[in-house]
Amino acid sequence: MSEIPKRTRVVIIGGGPAGSLLAHLLHLRAIDSVILELRTREHVLERVRAGVIEHRSAEVLRETGVGKRMDAEGFVHEGVNLAHAGDMLRIDFQGLTGKHVTIYGQTELQKDLYDLIDADGIPLIDAAGEVHVEGIESDTPSVGFENRGAAHVIACDFVIGCDGAHGVCRDFIPRGARWSFERQYPFCWVGLLSETPPVNEELIYASHKRGFALCSMRNEHLSRYYLQGPAETTLDEWPDDRFWAELTARLPDGVADTLVTGPSIEKIVTPLRSWVSEPMRHGRLLLAGDAAHVVPPTGAKGLNLAISDVVYLVDALSGHYDNGSTTGLDEYSERALARVWKAVRFSWWMTTMLHRFPGLDDDFERRLQEAELNYLFGSENAQRAMAENYVGLPH
């Protein structure tokens, strides 16, 4: 267990991908930090989540020494496939944009980050509860918390909230100084992980009258599949047999015929929502990643936004410590939110185009959905726009 310091430059609340990448990148700029993580290390390292790393995100990981295992074990994907009305369309990322994405599980990335943090000697205090901050409107904030039965306070220059969608940090911004924007979708995703070979080398996003389906993977032996389910569904309603039968029904025949099924090793139900909390800075408190914004997983943007926020934050904090500049800090929220909203738009667009909205079949919106898919299938320009967003807009 790390010794708990009394003072550091930056206290990072939350040791997920945003918090741990931030600590490592600050260490590379000789800025010391402490990470406070609510859960145990083991719990964080077991969570199964995202898997698609954008082109620029992968470059950032590589340039900062995080990407060795990603490069050795990840899979470069130069396109994705869309299935609709019995047809398959391949969106050729490489041909349309000259870029690609890398398939590498968030669980593996988290392991790599914790290994680096340990090697860097950054204190990672896990099982840190009851986190509260003082003085974020002053130049001398502090963070109090409990750890294994004892109370602690760390004095610092900055507090960074990387505590995810259910975190507490954004609530430290006074009510009158923050705004949130939200869209709830009337369905969820049921996800299944199985030790079976993926049905296809690249991801397949399927629009079907029974609902959306996604065929994804972690490696040649580990497949990740998702199905659109009703908003209030529970895991009990999705025994493996039902899941596989429903997935088979939603895939084009040529694909369904080659699907290898097997026992699930993990299953989840994930609600879908788009949500942004603004601003991402108040005084000496700055937010990054899911602590400030959540997108539906349809466009694979959540983890990638956490990475771009961190890149902007490191610029801002380096400017402060290297030459006393406040420009990066002053512009952080606006800069990050400009990119966040483009990803919110893209994830909303993919979600809206590919899912069945209960109650909307056969009406005006259903026709628009058909028109959107037909346009995409028939227009290289539309495909280029999708590819440009999917591989990731520049940081």
* CB of residue 203 to ligand FAD, shortest distance in Å: 10
**Residue of 104, 185, 225, 390 with catalytic role:** 390
Active site residue 332: no
Active site residue 186: no
C-beta atoms surrounding 34 within 10 Å: 23
Instruction: Tell me the two tokens of residue 307.
Output: 């990475």
Helix 327-354 × helix 380-391 angle, to 10°: 130
Nearer Cβ to ligand FAD, position 31 or 101? 101
Sheet strands side by side (includes 33-36): 124-125, 33-36, 10-13, 158-161, 285-287, 281-282
Nearer Cβ to ligand FAD, position 343 or 373? 343
Chain residues in the site for ligand FAD (CB under 6 A):
13-19, 36-39, 44, 49-52, 106, 128, 131, 162-164, 166-168, 268, 270, 289-291, 297, 300-304, 306
* CB of residue 71 to ligand FAD, shortest distance in Å: 19
CA–CA separation, 211 and 362 (whole Å): 14
**Residue of 84, 99, 293, 301 with catalytic role:** 301
Active site residue 5: no
- With beta carbons less than 8 A apart as the criterion, state whether 144 and 134 touch: yes
Nearer Cβ to ligand FAD, position 88 or 168? 168
* CB of residue 23 to ligand FAD, shortest distance in Å: 11
Active site residue 390: yes
Instruction: Tell me the two tokens of residue 20.
Output: 């741990």
CA–CA separation, 194 and 219 (whole Å): 11
* CB of residue 152 to ligand FAD, shortest distance in Å: 13
DSSP 9-21: SEEEE--SHHHHH
Nearer Cβ to ligand FAD, position 69 or 267? 267
Active site residue 77: yes
Place of tokens 């990148």: 25
**Residue of 104, 114, 185, 205 with catalytic role:** 205
For the annotated catalytic residues, the residue numbers are: 77, 205, 297, 301, 390
